[in-house]
Protein backbone atom coordinates (compact mmCIF):
# COMPACT_ATOMS: atom_id res chain seq x y z
CA UNK A 1 0.00 0.00 0.00
CA UNK A 2 3.05 2.28 -0.03
CA UNK A 3 2.66 5.54 1.85
CA UNK A 4 -0.99 6.06 1.08
CA UNK A 5 -3.66 5.67 3.71
CA UNK A 6 -7.39 5.62 3.19
CA UNK A 7 -10.01 5.78 5.86
CA UNK A 8 -12.30 4.33 6.82
CA UNK A 9 -11.83 0.84 5.41
CA UNK A 10 -15.57 0.22 5.46
CA UNK A 11 -18.25 2.88 5.36
CA UNK A 12 -22.00 2.60 5.49
CA UNK A 13 -24.27 5.40 4.41
CA UNK A 14 -27.96 5.98 4.40
CA UNK A 15 -29.54 7.17 1.20
CA UNK A 16 -29.54 10.95 0.91
CA UNK A 17 -26.43 11.47 3.01
CA UNK A 18 -23.14 12.91 1.89
CA UNK A 19 -20.00 11.09 3.00
CA UNK A 20 -16.34 11.98 2.76
CA UNK A 21 -13.59 9.46 2.13
CA UNK A 22 -10.13 10.33 3.34
CA UNK A 23 -6.89 9.88 1.37
CA UNK A 24 -3.49 10.89 2.71
CA UNK A 25 -0.04 10.29 1.26
CA UNK A 26 3.42 10.91 2.67
CA UNK A 27 5.30 10.18 -0.56
CA UNK A 28 5.60 13.86 -1.52
CA UNK A 29 3.78 13.05 -4.75
CA UNK A 30 2.34 15.85 -6.84
CA UNK A 31 -0.52 13.95 -8.49
CA UNK A 32 -3.41 12.20 -6.78
CA UNK A 33 -6.34 10.27 -8.16
CA UNK A 34 -9.65 8.78 -7.14
CA UNK A 35 -10.99 5.63 -8.78
CA UNK A 36 -14.14 3.65 -8.39
CA UNK A 37 -14.08 -0.13 -8.81
CA UNK A 38 -17.19 -2.21 -9.35
CA UNK A 39 -17.22 -5.99 -9.85
CA UNK A 40 -16.18 -6.79 -13.41
CA UNK A 41 -15.77 -3.11 -14.27
CA UNK A 42 -12.12 -2.43 -13.61
CA UNK A 43 -11.05 1.00 -12.37
CA UNK A 44 -12.88 4.12 -13.47
CA UNK A 45 -11.39 7.55 -12.89
CA UNK A 46 -13.50 9.95 -10.83
CA UNK A 47 -11.22 12.95 -10.27
CA UNK A 48 -7.52 13.70 -10.40
CA UNK A 49 -5.28 16.49 -9.24
CA UNK A 50 -1.82 17.48 -10.37
CA UNK A 51 -1.15 20.30 -7.92
CA UNK A 52 -2.63 21.87 -4.82
CA UNK A 53 -5.88 23.77 -5.38
CA UNK A 54 -6.33 22.27 -8.84
CA UNK A 55 -8.26 19.19 -9.92
CA UNK A 56 -9.91 17.80 -13.01
CA UNK A 57 -12.95 15.64 -13.64
CA UNK A 58 -12.42 12.09 -14.75
CA UNK A 59 -14.80 9.83 -16.62
CA UNK A 60 -17.44 9.51 -13.89
CA UNK A 61 -17.30 12.73 -11.82
CA UNK A 62 -21.06 13.27 -11.54
CA UNK A 63 -22.23 13.03 -7.94
CA UNK A 64 -18.73 13.40 -6.51
CA UNK A 65 -16.64 16.33 -5.33
CA UNK A 66 -13.02 16.72 -4.23
CA UNK A 67 -10.68 19.27 -2.75
CA UNK A 68 -6.89 19.60 -2.75
CA UNK A 69 -6.01 22.14 -0.09
CA UNK A 70 -2.83 20.31 0.91
CA UNK A 71 -0.36 18.36 -1.18
CA UNK A 72 -0.69 15.25 0.97
CA UNK A 73 -4.48 15.16 1.16
CA UNK A 74 -7.17 14.54 -1.46
CA UNK A 75 -10.57 13.82 0.14
CA UNK A 76 -13.49 12.60 -1.92
CA UNK A 77 -17.09 13.47 -1.07
CA UNK A 78 -19.80 11.19 -2.33
CA UNK A 79 -22.91 13.32 -2.52
CA UNK A 80 -26.55 12.34 -2.45
CA UNK A 81 -26.61 13.10 -6.18
CA UNK A 82 -24.59 9.94 -6.86
CA UNK A 83 -27.29 7.44 -7.74
CA UNK A 84 -25.36 4.24 -7.24
CA UNK A 85 -22.56 4.93 -4.77
CA UNK A 86 -22.01 1.40 -3.42
CA UNK A 87 -18.52 0.47 -4.64
CA UNK A 88 -14.88 0.05 -3.73
CA UNK A 89 -13.06 3.41 -3.84
CA UNK A 90 -9.33 3.58 -4.46
CA UNK A 91 -7.03 6.54 -4.06
CA UNK A 92 -3.68 6.69 -5.84
CA UNK A 93 -0.77 9.05 -6.18
CA UNK A 94 2.22 9.51 -8.47
CA UNK A 95 5.22 11.79 -8.64
CA UNK A 96 3.93 13.37 -11.84
CA UNK A 97 0.69 12.83 -13.67
CA UNK A 98 0.97 9.38 -15.25
CA UNK A 99 3.58 8.81 -17.90
CA UNK A 100 6.76 7.17 -16.71
CA UNK A 101 5.86 7.52 -13.07
CA UNK A 102 4.32 4.73 -11.06
CA UNK A 103 0.92 5.06 -9.48
CA UNK A 104 0.80 3.91 -5.89
CA UNK A 105 -2.57 2.82 -4.57
CA UNK A 106 -4.07 2.97 -1.12
CA UNK A 107 -5.86 0.01 0.48
CA UNK A 108 -9.30 1.27 -0.56
CA UNK A 109 -12.58 2.14 1.13
CA UNK A 110 -15.63 -0.02 0.61
CA UNK A 111 -18.76 2.14 0.67
CA UNK A 112 -22.16 0.56 1.11
CA UNK A 113 -25.41 2.48 0.87
CA UNK A 114 -28.11 1.05 3.08
Q: Of 1, 18, 63, 67, which lies in the binding site for other proteins, with binding defined by CB under 8 A?
A: 1
Q: Of 50, 61, 79, 85, which lies in the binding site for other proteins, with binding defined by CB under 8 A?
A: 50
Question: Which of 36, 22, 51 has the alpha carbon at shortest distance from 86?
Answer: 36
Q: What is the DSSP string of 48-104?
A: EESSTT--EE-TT-TTEEE--SBTTB--EEE-TT-S---EEEEEEEESSSSTTSPPE
11 binds other proteins (CB under 8 A): no
How far apart are alpha carbons 89 and 70 in whole angstroms?
A: 20
Q: Of 7, 20, 26, 107, which lies in the binding site for other proteins, with binding defined by CB under 8 A?
A: 107
Binders of other proteins among residues 62 to 101 (CB under 8 A) are 88, 90, 92, 96-100
What is the contact surface with other proteins in residues (CB under 8 A)?
1, 4, 33, 35, 40-45, 48, 50, 56, 88, 90, 92, 96-100, 102-108, 110
Amino acid sequence: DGGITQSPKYLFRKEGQNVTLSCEQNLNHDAMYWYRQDPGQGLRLIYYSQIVNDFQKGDIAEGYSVSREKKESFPLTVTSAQKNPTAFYLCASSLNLGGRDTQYFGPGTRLTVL
